[in-house]
Amino acid sequence: MKSRFTLAATVAVLALNAPAHADTLRLLTWGGYAPDAVIDLFEAETGHTVEVTLSNNEEMVAKLRATGGGGFDLAQPSQDRIAGPQAEFGIYKPIDMSKIDTALFIPSMLEATKTNTTVDGAVYAVPDVWGTSGLIVNAAEASSVADYTDLCNADLTGKVTYRLKRPTLIGFAFSMGLDPFAAYGDIAAYQAILDQVEAKLIECKPVVKTYWSGGDELINLMRSGETVAAMAWDTGGWKLNTDNADINFVAPTSGALGWVDTFSLPAQGRADDAAYAWINFVMQPKIAAMITEEAGNFTASAGADEFVNDALKAQYQNSFPPAAVDNIRWYPPVPAEIERIEGETLDRVQAAG
Amino acid sequence: MTPGRLSFFLLLAPLVLWLGLLIVIPHIDMALVSLRARVAPGEYTPSLQNYADFFTQPLYLVTFARTAIMSILATAITLIIGFPISYYIAKIAKGRSQASLFLMCLIPFWVSELVRTFGWIILLRETGVISGLLQWAGLADQPVEMLYNDSAMMLGLVYTSMLFMVVPLTTTLESLDDAVIEAGYDLGGNGFSVLREIVIPHAMPGIVSGCIVVFMLSLGNYLTPTMLGGKDSLWFTQLIYSQFIVRFNWELGAAFGFCLLGASSLIVWGMLRLTGQTLERTMGEGS
Amino acid sequence: MMTDTPPDLECRGLAKRFDNVTAVDSVDFSVPAGSFFSILGPSGCGKTTIMRMIAGFLEPSSGDIRIKGRSVLGVPPNKRPVNMVFQHLALFPMMNVAENIGYGLRRQGVSKSEIMRRTGEVLERISLPGIGGRKVSELSGGQRQRVAIARCMVLEPDVLLLDEPLGALDLKLREKMKVELKALQAEFDTTFVYITHDQGEALVMSDKVAVMNAGRFEQVGPARELYYNPATAFVAGFVGDANRWKGRVTAAHGADVTVLLDSGLTLCARGTGLAQGDRVEIFVRPEAISIAHDPHAMGEDANQIAVQVTAMLFNGANSRVLVRDPQSGAEIDVALPQSAAFAGLDKGDAVHIGWNRDQSLCFADSGT
Mean pLDDT of all residues in chain B?
87
Which CATH number goes with the domain that contains C92? 3.40.50.300
pLDDT score recorded for residue A274 = 94
End-to-end CA distance of chain A: 84
Of B189, B201, B202, the CB nearest to C78: B189
Higher-confidence position of C133 and A7: C133
pLDDT score recorded for residue B284 = 58
Domain topology for B58-286? MetI-like fold (1.10.3720)
Domain boundary among C173, C203, C236: C236
Write out the E strands in chain C. Answer: 9-18, 21-31, 36-40, 62-67, 70-71, 82-85, 159-163, 191-196, 208-213, 216-221, 243-253, 256-261, 266-270, 279-284, 290-292, 303-313, 320-324, 331-335, 350-355, 361-364
Q: Is C285 inside any structural domain?
A: yes
Question: Is the CB of C78 less than 8 angstroms away from the CB of B201?
Answer: no
Q: Is A8 inside any structural domain?
A: no
Of B63, B148, B245, the CB nearest to A210: B148
User: Within this chain, do residues A85 and A181 fall inside the same structural domain, yes or no?
Assistant: no
> What secondary structure letter does DSSP report for B103?
H
Q: What mean pLDDT comes out for the span C284-313? A: 85
Give the residue numbers spanning the domain of A347: 133-257+329-351
The domain total for chain C is: 2
User: Within this chain, do residues A138 and A216 fall inside the same structural domain, yes or no?
Assistant: yes
User: Within this chain, do residues A207 and A340 fall inside the same structural domain, yes or no?
Assistant: yes
Q: Rounded to whole angstroms, how far apart are CA atoms B6 and B2?
A: 6
User: Within this chain, do residues A206 and A162 fall inside the same structural domain, yes or no?
Assistant: yes
pLDDT score recorded for residue B2 = 62
pLDDT score recorded for residue C253 = 86
Question: Is the CB of B198 less than 8 angstroms away from the CB of C104?
Answer: no
Encode pLDDT of C313-351 as tens digits. 888 888 889 999 888 788 888 988 887 778 788 888 888
Q: Is C214 inside any structural domain?
A: yes
User: Within this chain, do residues C32 and C152 fall inside the same structural domain, yes or no?
Assistant: yes
- For residue C108, what is the nearest residue in chain B, using CA coordinates? B188
pLDDT score recorded for residue A14 = 43
Q: What mean pLDDT comes out for the span C29-58? A: 92
Q: What mean pLDDT comes out for the span A222-238? A: 92
User: In what helix (H) or strand (E) does residue B160 lie, and over which residues does it extend?
Assistant: helix B150-174
Confidence check: pLDDT of A272 > 80: yes
Higher-confidence position of B268 and B7: B268
Q: Rounded to whole angstroms, how far apart are CA atoms C178 and C169?
A: 11
Q: Rounded to whole angstroms, how far apart are CA atoms A207 and A155?
A: 8
Confidence check: pLDDT of C234 > 60: yes
Give the residue from B30, B142, B231 with the most A CB atoms within 10 Å of its CB, the best one to mutate. B231
Q: Is C48 inside any structural domain?
A: yes
Q: How many CB pairs under 8 A join B and C?
A: 64
pLDDT score recorded for residue B248 = 79
Q: What mean pLDDT comes out for the span B154-172? A: 91
Order of strands across the sheet that contains C191-196 = C82-85, C159-163, C191-196, C36-40, C208-213, C216-221
- pLDDT-derived band at A1 (thresholds 50, 70, 90) equals very low
Mean pLDDT lowest for which of B1-10, B115-124, C300-309?
B1-10
Encode pLDDT of B119-147 as tens digits. 888 888 888 888 888 888 888 888 888 88
- pLDDT-derived band at B29 (thresholds 50, 70, 90) equals confident
Question: Is the CB of C78 less than 8 angstroms away from the CB of B183?
Answer: no
User: Within this chain, do residues C308 and C186 fall inside the same structural domain, yes or no?
Assistant: no
Mean pLDDT of all residues in chain C?
88
Encode pLDDT of B60-83 as tens digits. 899 999 999 999 999 999 999 999
Bridge-partner residues for A260, per DSSP? A130
Question: Is the CB of B245 less than 8 angstroms away from the CB of A348?
Answer: no
Q: What mean pLDDT comes out for the span A199-224? A: 91
Of C79, C88, C92, the CB nearest to B198: C92
Write out the E strands in A110-253. Answer: 118-119, 122-123, 126-138, 160-162, 208-211, 229-233, 247-250
Q: Is C348 inside any structural domain?
A: yes
Which CATH number goes with the domain that contains C246? 2.40.50.140
User: Within this chain, do residues C309 and C225 fall inside the same structural domain, yes or no?
Assistant: no
User: Within this chain, do residues C195 and C308 fall inside the same structural domain, yes or no?
Assistant: no
Question: Is the CB of C94 less than 8 angstroms away from the CB of B201?
Answer: yes
Confidence check: pLDDT of C69 > 60: yes
Q: Is C1 inside any structural domain?
A: no
Which CATH number goes with the domain that contains A216? 3.40.190.10
pLDDT score recorded for residue B3 = 66
Q: Is A309 inside any structural domain?
A: yes
User: Within this chain, do residues A95 and A209 fall inside the same structural domain, yes or no?
Assistant: no
The answer, for B201 touching chain C at a CB cutoff of 8 Å, is yes
| Percent of chain C topping pLDDT 70 | 98
Question: Is the CB of B202 less than 8 angstroms away from the CB of C94?
Answer: yes
CA dihedral A32→A34→A38→A40, nearest 10 degrees, is: -120
User: Within this chain, do residues A171 and A241 fall inside the same structural domain, yes or no?
Assistant: yes
Give the residue numbers spanning the domain of C283: 241-364
End-to-end CA distance of chain B: 35
Mean pLDDT lowest for which of A207-211, B41-45, B283-287, C3-7?
B283-287
Of B180, B187, B202, the CB nearest to C107: B187
Contacts of A324 (CB under 8 A, 6+ apart): A251, A256
Q: What mean pLDDT comes out for the span C118-137? A: 90
Confidence check: pLDDT of B42 > 80: no
Encode pLDDT of A62-119 as tens digits. 899 889 899 999 999 999 889 988 988 899 999 999 999 999 999 888 998 999 999 9
The answer, for B189 touching chain C at a CB cutoff of 8 Å, is yes
Question: Is the CB of C77 less than 8 angstroms away from the CB of B197?
Answer: no
End-to-end CA distance of chain C: 37
Confidence check: pLDDT of A13 > 70: no
pLDDT score recorded for residue B287 = 39
Mean pLDDT lowest for which of C80-89, C280-289, C343-352?
C343-352
Confidence check: pLDDT of B16 > 70: yes
Q: What mean pLDDT comes out for the span A198-226? A: 91
Chain-centroid distance of CA B236 in Å reads 14
pLDDT score recorded for residue C119 = 93
HSE-CB at B54 with a 13 A cutoff on CA atoms is: 22
Mean pLDDT of all residues in chain A?
88
Encode pLDDT of A18-34 as tens digits. 444 678 999 999 988 99
- For residue A353, what is the nearest residue in chain B, using CA coordinates? B232
- C201: amino acid identity, one letter: E
- pLDDT-derived band at B286 (thresholds 50, 70, 90) equals very low
Encode pLDDT of C184-227 as tens digits. 888 888 999 999 998 888 988 999 999 999 999 999 999 999 99
Q: Rounded to whole angstroms, how far apart are CA atoms C135 and A187?
A: 71
Long-range contacts of residues A319-326, Cβ cutoff 8 Å, at least 24 apart:
A319/A134, A319/A234, A319/A237, A319/A238, A319/A248, A319/A249, A319/A250, A319/A251, A320/A132, A320/A251, A320/A256, A324/A251, A324/A256
User: Within this chain, do residues A106 and A44 fall inside the same structural domain, yes or no?
Assistant: yes
The domain total for chain A is: 2
Encode pLDDT of C240-263 as tens digits. 888 999 999 998 888 889 999 888
Q: Rounded to whole angstroms, how far apart are CA atoms A18 and A34?
A: 25
ipTM: 0.80
Nearest to B34 by CA among B244, B275, B270: B244
- Number of CB atoms found within 10 A of residue A333's CB: 21
- pLDDT-derived band at C284 (thresholds 50, 70, 90) equals very high
Q: Is A1 inside any structural domain?
A: no
Q: Is A4 inside any structural domain?
A: no
What residue spans define the domains of chain B?
A: 58-286
User: Within this chain, do residues C155 and C251 fall inside the same structural domain, yes or no?
Assistant: no
pLDDT score recorded for residue C312 = 87
- C113: amino acid identity, one letter: S
Q: Is C348 helix (H, G, I), strand (E, B) or coil?
A: coil
Q: Is A307 inside any structural domain?
A: yes
Q: Is A2 inside any structural domain?
A: no
B/C Cβ contact: 3+ pairs below 8 Å? yes
pLDDT score recorded for residue A277 = 95
The answer, for A244 touching chain B at a CB cutoff of 8 Å, is no
Give the residue from B54, B247, B249, B250 with the most A CB atoms within 10 Å of its CB, the best one to mutate. B247
User: Within this chain, do residues C22 and C70 fall inside the same structural domain, yes or no?
Assistant: yes
HSE-CB at C34 with a 13 A cutoff on CA atoms is: 5
Encode pLDDT of A132-152 as tens digits. 999 999 999 988 999 999 999
